[in-house]
Amino acid sequence: MNAEKTQKNIAAAATAIIGQAVLPGAERDFESWQRDLNAAAAYYPGFLGAEVSPPTPLQTDWVVVYRFDSVAHLQAWINSATRQTYLDVGSKYFAGPATQQVVSSGTQMLDPLVTVVVTHRVHPDQVDDFLDWQHRMVEEEGKFEGFRGTELFRPIEGLQEEWTTLYRYDSAEHLDAWLTSPQRHRILAEGARFSDFRLHTIDNSFGSWFAFEGNGTQAPPPPSETRTSLAVWVGLYPTVVLLTLALSPLHLKLWIGLLVGNLLSSFLMSFLTMPFYVNPLLGRWLRPPPDEPVRENLRGLAVVVAAIVVWAVVFYFVTVRWWTLP
């Protein structure tokens, strides 16, 4: 029964993607204000989670993603007096009006790599032509390297009038190749009547270190920066020590040894350490359920401490008792 209820909640989940430009110098105050706003959202029925993504070279705005178990619950939060009161207070940090897109489907979050959000206003008489045009667009996107998939969401009555498309690439370089391609410009020209659209990119590339559930499907980065840092520590410590031991016979100078070691550790962390060691070990702690009891958090911290202690003991015996670095 619980599993069935969970599946129904996931199937009806609604996500709001809000982009906000922030005045220079107000970033720290905005981030603190946004944390308070997200904490207030957690008291509303159906709240599943909130994520904040600061600007990057690829993503110019702060992006906040809210997830609720239904459109009705999301709408209640978006239109609530509580949120409006917070917005009135936080408006002094804003550099302009916010953008907002709402999607509703079984997808609970955005791809943790590079996601582009495009919204279109489509006249009811042109819906069939718009869908045909979108189909041609997806066919062309799928021919480009790094394409991870696309989703199209219909307007939601009373909440959003636009059609929303999410499409994903595995890197900013692959995304840029598509955005600047002659194929895309040709398709855009064919759909000139649908040229009234907005596009913005959500960059969450570091989140790929936490991009695996137990069954291999995509998942968002952990909701806590502290947990993220501790999880990276659990993976980084053995990775760096093992690489140091492996490279020590080469007698590299410090500057070149660190250069090579950092490069190799980045690849190992992305493709081996995080997906096959850290995420399976700390998966539940990194992505806790909304009603996580305190003991689960303490249990996760205990696993972190135990993992570090085990590695420290192993490396003590390896480097002190059994072998000394040349």
| Distance of alpha carbon 10 from alpha carbon 310, whole angstroms | 38
Locate all alpha helices (DSSP H) within 42-99, ordered by sequence.
71-78, 81-90
Q: Where are the domains of the chain?
A: 1-107, 110-203, 225-322
In whole angstroms, how far apart are CA 248 and each of 36, 120, 268? Answer: 48, 57, 18
Q: What is the Cα–Cα distance from 45 to 159, expressed in whole angstroms?
A: 17
- For the question of whether the overall pTM of this predicted structure is more than 0.85, the answer is no
Measure the CA–CA gap between 244 and 265, rounded to whole angstroms. 10
Beta strands in the chain (DSSP E): 14-20, 47-53, 62-68, 99-104, 114-120, 147-153, 163-169, 197-203
Q: pLDDT digit string (tens) for 122-180?
A: 888 888 888 888 888 888 888 888 887 777 777 776 666 778 787 778 777 788 888 88
Residue-level pLDDT at 165: 80
Q: Regarding the domain delimited by 110-203, which CATH topology (the fold level of the hierarchy) does it fall under?
A: Alpha-Beta Plaits (3.30.70)
The yes-or-no verdict on residue 72 having pLDDT over 60 is yes
Q: How many CA atoms lie within 13 A of 115 on its CB side?
A: 21
Confidence at residue 10, expressed as pLDDT on a 0 to 100 scale: 40
Tens of pLDDT, residue by residue over 196-225, are 666 666 555 444 444 433 333 344 445 556
- Express as a percent the part of the chain with pLDDT over 90: 7
Cα separation of 115 and 9, whole Å? 24
Q: 10 Å Cβ neighbour count for 118?
A: 20
Q: How far apart are the first and last CA of the chain?
A: 61
Pick 295 or 307 by higher pLDDT.
307
Token digits of residue 20: 């906000």
pLDDT score recorded for residue 292:
58
d(CA 323, CA 326): 9
Among 3.30.1540.20, 3.30.70.100, 3.30.360.10, 3.40.47.10, name the CATH number for the domain at 1-107: 3.30.70.100
DSSP 304-322: HHHHHHHHHHHHHIIIIII
pLDDT of the residue at 2? 38
Return the pLDDT at 78. Answer: 84
* pLDDT tens column, 30-51: 999 999 998 888 888 888 888 8
Q: What is the mean pLDDT of the chain?
A: 77
Let me know: does 209 contact 224? Beta carbons within 8 Å: no
**Region 273-289 average pLDDT:** 77
- Is residue 148 within 8 Å of 157, Cβ to Cβ? no
> Residue 144: its pLDDT value, please?
86
CA distance 227 to 223: 8
pLDDT score at 74: 85
Q: What is the pLDDT of residue 51?
A: 83
The DSSP bridge pattern shows strands 62-68 and 114-120 to be unpaired
Which pLDDT score, from 0 to 100, does residue 269 have?
85
- Over the stretch 81-117, which tens digit does the pLDDT of each residue have? 888 888 888 889 988 777 777 776 544 444 445 777 7
* Predicted local confidence at residue 113, as pLDDT: 57
Instruction: Say what the pLDDT of residue 8 is.
Output: 40
Q: For residue 134, what are the CA distances in angstroms to 232, 235, 245?
A: 40, 42, 53
Q: What is d(CA 123, CA 153) in angstroms, rounded to the nearest whole number?
A: 15
